[in-house]
Structure 1
Amino acid sequence: MVHQVTAPLLGSLVWSSAIAILPILLLFILLGCLGWRAERATLAALAAALLIALAVYGVAPVQSLNIAAYGGAFGLISVAWVILNAIWLYELTVRSGHFEALGQVFASMAGAPPVQMLLIAFGFGGLLEGLIGAGAPVAICSAMLVAIGLPPMQAAICTLLADSVPVAFGTLALPIIALSSATGLPVTTLGAMVGRQTPILAMLIPFILLILVGGRRALRAHWRIAFLAGLSFGFTQFAVSNYLSVKLADVIAALVASAVLVATVRLAPNGMHEPEMTRENAIDLRRMAQALAPYGIIILVFSLAQIPALTRVLAVATVSFDWPGLAILSPDGAAIATRFKLPLLETTGTLLLLSGVITMLVLRLSPRLALRAYRDAAYQIRHAVITVAAIFALAFVANLSGQTRTMGLLLATLGPTGFALVSPLIGWIGAALTGSDSSSNVLFGGLQTTAAQGVGMSPVLAAASNSSGGVVAKAISVQSLAVASATVSLVGKEAAILRRVIFWSLGLLMLMCAISLFQSLPFISGWVVPSLPAEPVP
């Protein structure tokens, strides 16, 4: 039995919080200052959290390890399984040769270089982030921008900033799923709230990208295209996340924005003239259709999974049980749920696996190629699996031992206005140092909701602001900078890239803090923040 305490050290929230935050500080120092690999840093931070749970919060060793196992298992099911199948699906398109064809077609569909950049970095990059994430949009789109003639520094900066707004719904809403697991709030409610924040940022990104590529001249020449691209992406992201499927918000938004970009260029008087229909063009169109097939299949599978009748059928295969040997009481003596759900069919990872199998059949790929791709995908994410399990274990130990509650109650002393301003900053710091919005959500999701309840702010708004604040930090994270610099042959120039993007990241963070504050106002939050269902589903 674990009975949480609020201020175990000298009865002081300040001193207890100073101890409780040490694992997070250790993680940031090991990652950001000492350059440790993510899996080693998270394991070290987990060890520190276990030690504090034992020595300061009085949690028995067996119970501490059991909590860590509970969190690690949760992370493997909810996150690692998704990453594995997302990478496999991507590898199928690459090995079949269709992905390269899609990239070539994207690069040739828009006329002027700034518009090509928008289509590749903002449209195609958003699609990649929505499906696979994990740094792939930065690596792939940076190389494509260099191939169409952008200087390496510009290519790196553009892809880093373009790959910000889609991050919250990346890898089929993986950060939202992670946030739900850390807070116990429903995925649909959190996704709807984030979908009422990040679209505002999305409408600005195309304008920023034009300024980076061509300054005022490019902005004057192509502001209408930037406006339509940002508006179409933002509106679609809002509509899909609120009314269709949180998991498809990025995918559909990116496809709609790309279609709007191409249509605008084709219909504009000074746009690209229609090419003559040659045999080569016809082949390109056929190959483009094949390259788009996996994404269409994903949209179809996940859309069908939203139909209530099918949802109920898929839910039948869900196994649910109380985690063995684990009983947690809050400081006031109320039992804290430790329910473990194993959704065999309705989970995102399984639906991605099904999409991959259908893709294999549609594209007539051999089972041998598919199995090799799956084996290589599993090998590719071997370090990420350890990181995911460790970061979830760390978060669960901090949450269930009471460490998160201690820090949240201290933050609650800021008051509703102060905390609403700080909430996105917390997510920004977490994503900047861990390189992952999902990790930031797992680390700080429980902290945000605890503090929000203490100040009388909506926990849904606080948790969503953590994720939305994290998206604008992705461009300055060490991992993203390393991927971008390596792709465009600027290894060693990470600091120079950082200096070019941090101004924009901080500016977007300030805007996000203002959005969070505005949405927290009593006369605004009532109609902006979505209501929780009668029975929240973790």
Structure 2
Amino acid sequence: MQWAQNYDPMGNMALSFAVACIPLLFFFWCLAIKKMKGYLAGLLTVAVAVLEAIVVYHMPVHLALEATVLGGLQGLWPIGWIVVTAVFLYELTVASGKFQVISDSIASITEDRRLQALLIAFSFGAFLEGTAGYGTPVAIAGGLLAGLGFNPFYAAGLCLIANTAPVAFGGVGIPILTSAQVTGIDTLSLSQMVGRQVPFLSLFVPFWLVFIMSGWKRTLEVFPAILVSGLSFAGTQYLTANFLGPELPDVTSAIVSMVSLVLLLKFWQPKTIFRFKGEKKQESVDRDERKPKQRLGQIVQAWSPFVLLVLVICIWGGSERIKAFLNQATLLLPIPGLDQMIAQVKPIVTQATPYGAVYKFDGLAATGTAILVTCVLSKFLIGISWKKWGATFGLTIKKLALPLVMIVSVLGFAYIENYSGMSATLGLGLASTGVVFPFLAPFIGWIGVFLTGSDTSSNALFSNLQKVSANQIGVDPTLLVAANSTGGVAAKMISPQSIAVATAATGLVGKEGSLFRFTILHSLLFVAITGVITFLQAYVLQWMIP
């Protein structure tokens, strides 16, 4: 017998909304106020959410427990698998000694920490988001910055904030494709709408990154670089999203942005070199004397694992024939007693719909497997022994043990929120605000990404609600469905899943609360900016809606 979700368990929408906020507020309290370790905060929060699902939402105990376990399994695979392999690839370059060559090669372009952040956290991170998604950009870019000598805390925080710009088109456009599938709205129209919102953030993020690193005066010193980085990225993102579709905006924008900034730095450099406090200053040393002494072949060899990573991921996901071949090994495992046993009801869906619960184990097709293949091939490229390769993998697993516990717990939290209907209560509570809803619409996507760690999952969960609400208040549904994705990108930096990846990659395990406090205000600022943009497009700038 199916159990039907009830989105207003208290009989009053405002009260139900307040009750549904309890697990979220408890998680915020654990991290931001009590400064708990991430894995402990995650485990306690999932316990609170399960208890509320059973007591308040009257969800059968076995359904609540099975939904939580399914989320935990998703945390291990595919998400945890991506985190392990991505960090492992970075650790291989360190263990082989090649990372010093990478560091020197970047220093030959610029030794300025502000410009290195633009190149790696913003542009290179966006490329990884566009090709692989999930936690790959934060893990790889964060590790690179920390290895270059960045304060590990700033390396993690900057990569989380920088990963705002590309998320809506991440993983070869999967978030937009998902919205189109859920709502029936034309894919290109959604891509165009998102491409008329996100570029405003893309233009702003490079400036904000440098500003929070160095302050106003130091930001003005590199304003030409900020302008080139932001304009080239945002402009390419706009053109690609509006004329080609959702699959390539991140890839094209990242490449154009990196190339543009490197070309600028060939002809222009800031007058002073910015480093963090405690770093040795070398402004007086001639630039030619600071250039690395490695030959071109050594530099190519050192970078080869990351070049290979891009190639392998593009091959893994770029050909329908290859994807079909890899998916032959995929196992789809319906969860007994949970699959089709919960019914989603109006207004989340147009008619009562069974909620599927199928665990997908894509052993070959997973992005993490593509990264592992890169790690195996990199063994030969960087000349490391199998013994050291295996030892490095073991150390990586040991290093990531607690972050994996956190990832498993927060995915369990996300799933119990979704399957119990609590997340829908949150969305409906905001959707009941009437004429001001276009401002709040991005906050629904923000909540979705915070809960799930994924813009794709948030769109799958809330896109139809956005469409229904838009029709009720007389606003174009394309705008609000797009706003769900655009608003969601601002929550990526505070998603527990992303924070766990960032702390693992930069050696900050146990500092999840500090990193959450560092990013939360930036996240709220970004989603508020998106809310203003959406509100203006709904009532003033309607010509921007395709």
TM-score (normalizing by structure 2): 0.74
Pick from 381, 404, 411 the counterpart of residue 430 of structure 2: 411
SS at match of 2:75: helix
Q: CA deviation at 1:370?
A: 1.7
Structure 2 partner of 1:464: 485
User: Which amino acid letter does the alignment assign opposite residue 469 of structure 1?
Assistant: A
Residues in 1 aligned to 2:42 and 2:520: alpha-carbon distance in whole angstroms: 25
Note the C-alpha offset of 1:85: 0.8
2:161 to 153, 161, 164: 164
> Any conservation in 2 of the 1:237–1:250 contact (CA below 8 Å)?
yes
Amino acid paired to 2:117: A
Distance verdict in 2 for CA 1:368–1:482, change over 3 Å: closer
Q: Which residue of 2 aligns with 1:202?
A: 202
Unpaired segments ≥5 residues, structure 2: 130-135, 273-285, 346-350, 471-476
Contact 1:233 1:256 in 2 (8 A): yes
Q: Quick one: which amino acid aligns to residue 41 of structure 2? A: A
SS of aligned partner of 2:300: helix
Give secondary structure in 2 for the equivalent of 1:335. Answer: strand
What is the identity, as a one-letter code, of the residue corresponding to 1:511? I
User: How many Å separate the matches in 2 of 1:446 and 1:396?
Assistant: 13
Is the Cα–Cα contact under 8 Å of residues 80 and 388 in structure 1 kept in the other structure?
A: yes
Q: Could you tell me which of 273, 292, 297 is aligned with 1:286?
A: 297
Of 439, 445, 448, which aligns to 1:421?
A: 439
Amino acid at match of 1:47: A
Q: Which residue of 2 aligns with 1:124?
A: 120
Could you tell me which of 145, 151, 166 is aligned with 1:141?
145
> How much has 1:516 moved relative to structure 2?
3.4
Q: Which residue of 1 aligns with 2:277?
A: none
Q: How big is each residue's C-alpha offset from its partner over 1:184-218, in whole Å with a ceiling of 9 and x where there is no partner?
A: 969x9999976664443232344456666485686
Partner of 2:411: 392
Aligned to 2:278: none
Encode CA deviations 1:60-106: one digit per residue, 9 max, x unaligned.
21121111122222222231111111111111111112222212221
Q: 1:75, 1:388 within 8 Å by CA — same for their partners in 2?
A: yes
Partner of 1:96: 96
SS state at 1:340 partner = strand
CA apart distance, 1:244: 9.1
Structure 1 contact 123–255 (Cα < 8 Å) conserved: no
Instruction: Give the 3 Å change call, closer, same or farther, for CA 64–377 of structure 1 in structure 2.
Output: same
Given that 2:115 and 2:225 are in contact with CA atoms closer than 8 Å, whether structure 1 keeps it comes out as no
Question: One-letter code of the match for 1:421?
Answer: F
Q: Is the contact between residue 8 and residue 56 of structure 1 (CA under 8 Å) also seen in structure 2? A: no
Bigger drift between 85-94 and 309-318 goes to 309-318
- 1:9 aligned counterpart, secondary structure: coil
Q: Could you tell me how far 1:441 is from its partner in structure 2?
A: 5.5
Q: 2:84 matched to which residue of 1?
A: 84
Give TM-score, length-normalised by structure 1: 0.75
- For residues 524 and 312 of structure 1, what CA distance do their matches in structure 2 show? 41
Tell me what 1:16 maps to: 16
Distance 1:91-1:210 versus aligned 2 partners, 3 A rule? closer
Tell me whether 1:319 sits opposite 2:338 in the alignment.
Answer: no
Q: Check 1:427–1:369 CA distance in 2 against 1; reply closer, same or farther (3 A cut).
A: farther
For residue 73 of structure 1, give the secondary structure of its aligned residue in structure 2.
helix
Size of the aligned set, in residue pairs, is 495
**1:191, 1:241 within 8 Å by CA — same for their partners in 2?**
yes
SS state of the match for residue 329, structure 1? strand
Change (3 A) 1:360 1:471: same
Find the counterpart in structure 2 of residue 375 from structure 1. Answer: 394
Counterpart of 1:532 in structure 2 is none
Residues 298 and 355 in structure 1, CA contact (< 8 A), matched pair in contact too: yes
Distance 1:70 1:309 in 2: 30
Gaps of 5+ in 1: 147-151, 528-538
Aligned equivalents of 1:120, 1:328: Cα separation in 2: 49
Q: Contact conserved, 1:411 with 1:451, CA < 8 A, in 2?
A: no
| Aligned: 1:514 with 2:532 | yes
Are positions 1:233 and 2:227 aligned together? no
**Contact 2:342–2:354 (8 Å) recurs in 1:** yes
Change (3 A) 1:365 1:420: farther
Paired residue type of 1:311: K
Q: Which residue of 2 aligns with 1:45?
A: 45
Counterpart in the other structure of 1:534: none
Supply the distance in 1 between the matched residues of 2:398 and 2:467 (Cα, whole angstroms). Answer: 42
Query: Where does 1:151-300 land on structure 2 (aligned, <5 Å)?
Result: 160-161=157-158, 163-167=160-164, 169=166, 173=170, 197-208=197-208, 213=214, 215=216, 219=220, 222-235=222-235, 253-254=253-254, 256-267=256-267, 283-300=294-311
Q: Does the CA-based 8 Å contact 2:165-2:199 persist in structure 1?
A: no
Could you report, residue by residue, the CA deviation over 1:271-302 in whole angstroms, capped at 9, with x for unpaired residues?
Answer: 99x98899x96634322212221121111112
1:63 maps to amino acid: L
CA drift of 1:348 comes to 1.0
**Contact 2:448 2:461 (8 Å CA) reproduced:** no
Q: CA RMSD in A?
A: 4.6
**Would you say the 8 A contact 1:69–1:393 is kept in 2?**
yes
Letter in 2 for 1:141: L
Q: 1:307-354, CA deviations, whole angstroms, 9 ceiling, x for partnerless residues?
A: 222122122222224322211122364322223322222221111111
Deviation at 1:515, TM superposition (A): 3.1
* Identity score, percent: 24
